[in-house]
Homo-oligomer: A and B are copies of this chain.
Amino acid sequence: MIITNKQTINVVTLKITSAVNCVSPLGEAIKALCLYATGSECYALDVHRAVVEAVNNVILHAYSNQDGHDIIVEWNQEKDSLRIDITDYGLSMQTLPDPVLPEFDAESGRGWWIINSCLDEYYYKVVEYSQTNKFYKPNSDNGYSEEFMVKSHSNVLTLIKHF
What 0/1 pattern do residues 8 to 34 of A give for CB contact below 8 A with B? 101111111100011011101111110
Q: CB distance B22 to A11 under 8 Å?
A: yes
Query: How many chain copies does the complex carry?
Result: 2
- Total A residues in contact with B, Cβ cutoff 8 Å: 26
In the assembly, what is the distance between CA of A16 and CA of B33, in Å? 13
A105 to chain B, nearest CB (A): 25
Q: CB distance A29 to B22 under 8 Å?
A: no
Flag whether A119 is at the interface (Cβ < 8 A): no
Chain B residues closer than 8 Å to A13, beta-carbon distance: 14-16
Chain B residues closer than 8 Å to A14, beta-carbon distance: 12-15, 29
Between A14, A29, A75, the greatest number of chain B beta carbons within 10 A of the residue's beta carbon is seen for A29
Q: CB distance A15 to B16 under 8 Å?
A: no
Interface residues of A in 73-98 (CB under 8 A from B): 75, 77
Chain B residues closer than 8 Å to A10, beta-carbon distance: 21-22, 25
Flag whether A5 is at the interface (Cβ < 8 A): yes
Chain B residues closer than 8 Å to A28, beta-carbon distance: 32-33, 35-36
Flag whether A52 is at the interface (Cβ < 8 A): no
Interface residue from B15, B29, B77 paired with A32 (Cβ < 8 Å): B29
Flag whether A54 is at the interface (Cβ < 8 A): no
Flag whether A62 is at the interface (Cβ < 8 A): no
Q: Which residue of B lies closest to A29 (CB)?
A: B29
Flag whether A160 is at the interface (Cβ < 8 A): no
Q: Which residue of B lies closest to A32 (CB)?
A: B32
